[in-house]
Amino acid sequence: LLDTLYDFMSETDCVPIIAHAERYPEVWKRPTLITDLINMGCLIQVNAGSFFDKQERKIALAILKHGYMHCIGTDAHDMTQRAPDWSAQEFFYEAGYTEEWKRAQEIMRKVIAGEHVRVEAGKPIKKFLGKYF
């Protein structure tokens, strides 16, 4: 799968945004996959609502704490039944993650403007006894 993604990136010069990375069972099993994707040049998007979901919160917080949350989504599908919900901003500010929120906003602004965004992965996320660190 990573080879196919790498080939696509090489052939198209596109930068994939891995949407709601915190929802993928493969990431839950092997969280180092996040750093592999970032090292390839991908951006990572986390859904704001995942910080309120018991199952997704653990890995979402690990992605956030490692500085790997490049974009924030709302899982919106339309403006009525599944409208954007940015209430998670309060969580970020109250939990001391104001800079991380602002950084993701700036990266998203650059993506929308068509500007090149380059991020780097540092320390990989690890899993031990069901906890991510």
What pLDDT does residue 39 have?
A: 95
- pLDDT value at 61 more than 90: yes
Question: Which helix (H) or strand (E) segment is 80 a member of?
Answer: none
Using CA atoms, how far apart are residues 104 and 102, in angstroms rounded to an integer?
Answer: 5
What pLDDT does residue 88 have?
A: 86
Tokens of 63: 């992605």
Using CA atoms, how far apart are residues 18 and 44, in angstroms rounded to an integer?
Answer: 5
Which residues pair with residue 18 across a beta bridge?
A: 44
- pLDDT value at 73 more than 90: yes
What pLDDT does residue 57 have?
A: 94
